[in-house]
Structure 1
C-alpha cells in the first residue's frame, strides 16, 4: 500500500510538472522574438541554415498570441510539426517543430502583411531552410518565405518576389546538388 501511494505521488508530481512546463513553454513561446530579416542571397540562405530538409508539415498544433500588434492584427506564433523526409544539411531528424509568425484575425489574401506573417503552411511537400531558435527545441524558417520551396510535379518553386529564383524550377536531385555544391 505504501508503495502504491509513493507511485501515485510520483505520477501526480510528473503530471503537475508537465502542466507547469507546458504553461511556461507557452509563455516563453509568446515572448520569443523571431528573426524575420530577409537574407541577401541563396548562398547566405544555405550558410545560415542549421537544417535544410525536405518535408511535409502537419496541421498547425497550436497558435499562441503574442503581445505584439501590426495595425488591427495580433501577431501569433503558429507551432507546426514538419515530418522530415530527407536532410540535406544538419542533424538527421524524423520531425521538427517550427514557429511561424501569423496574424489574427487573418488578413485578406491580397494583404502584403501575409508575406511577412504567413501563418501555418499547407500540408504539401517542401524544402525548408531552418534556423534553430536558441535555448529551445524549436526552429524558424529563415527569411520567411525565402526559406520555403514547395515541390510541384517534381520541381521546386521559388515564390515570385520572395524566394531565390536560382533555387526554383529544380528537380529534387538538382536541388540537392545546388545545396551541396
Structure 2
C-alpha cells in the first residue's frame, strides 16, 4: 500500500474545502446581525451612548437583506443605506466621508398607525439628517442609537425632533452649531 498516494488526494481535498483565513474573520452578513431595541431615557443618555453624531444626507441606494426572523407574521428585513457625512458633531467619523447605515423593518411596510413603526424605522427616506450612531461590532456598519431617538431630520439649517417617535425636544429647533455646543455640554456638564 502506497500511503502518500492515499494521503495526497485527501490532503488536497481537505485544503480545498477548508475556509480561507479571510472567511474565518469575515464581517457578519447584514441579515444575520441582531439590532438592539434600546430606548434612551434622556438626551444626556443618547449623547453618551452615541459613538458618533453626524450631519449629512442619505443616498438613494437602499439594499434589503432578509433576516430569516419574523415579528408576528411579518418577515423582518435589514436595510443598508449610504450616509454621506457633511459634518461631525461628536466623535470621530470614518475618513471616507461616507458610512453604511443599518436599519430594520418590514416589506411591505406597516400602515402608519401600526405600533411596529415606533420600534422599527424601516428604510429611511432620502434626505438630510443628524444621526446619533453606534457601530455594529465587528463590522463597518452603524445603527441609530435608540432607533428613532437617534434620527433628527434637517429642515433648512434647523434640527427637527421627531417627538412622537421618541425624539428629544431638547434638540429640536437648533442649528448644527448649537447642537454641537449642546452635545459638548452634555458630555462635560
SS at the partner of 2:103?
Answer: strand
TM-superposed CA distance for 1:28, in Å, is 2.6
Aligned to 2:155: 152
Deviation of 1:138 after TM superposition, in Å, equals 0.6
Q: How much has 1:149 moved relative to structure 2?
A: 0.7
Q: Deviations 1:123-176 (Å, cap 9, x if unpaired)?
A: 111110000111111111011100001111321111123101101111222111
CA contact (8 A) 1:79 1:98 kept: yes
Equivalent residue, structure 2, for 1:48: 49
Query: In structure 2, what is the Cα distance between the partners aligned to 1:81 and 1:36?
Result: 21
Task: Give, in whole Å, the separation in 2 of the partners of 1:152 and 1:70.
Answer: 33
- Do the aligned partners of 1:130 and 1:139 also contact (CA within 8 Å) in 2? yes
Residue 174, structure 1, aligned to residue 184, structure 2: no
CA positional deviation for 1:60: 3.7
Distance 1:146 1:172, change over 3 A: same
Q: For residue 81 of structure 1, what is the aligned residue in structure 2? A: 82
Listed as ranges, the gaps of 5+ residues in structure 1 are: 1-16
Question: 97, 102, 118: which is aligned to 1:99?
Answer: 102
Residues 146 and 163 in structure 1, CA contact (< 8 A), matched pair in contact too: yes
1:114 to 117, 133, 148: 117
Write the distance in 2 (CA, Å) between the matches of 1:173 and 1:148.
17
Shift of 1:81: 0.8
Residue pair 1:101, 1:117 contacting (<8 A) in 2 also: yes
Residue 66 of structure 1: how far off its partner (Å): 0.8
Is the contact made by 1:132 and 1:140 (CA closer than 8 Å) also made in structure 2?
Answer: yes
2:6 matched residue in structure 1: none
**Could you tell me which residue of structure 1 aligns to residue 17 of structure 2?**
none
- Say which of 117, 141, 144 aligns to 1:141: 144
- TM norm structure 2: 0.78
Question: TM-score with structure 1 length normalisation?
Answer: 0.82
- 1:64-75 correspondence runs (5 A): 64-75=65-76
Corresponding position of 1:164: 168
8 A Cα contact 1:60 1:78, kept in partner: no
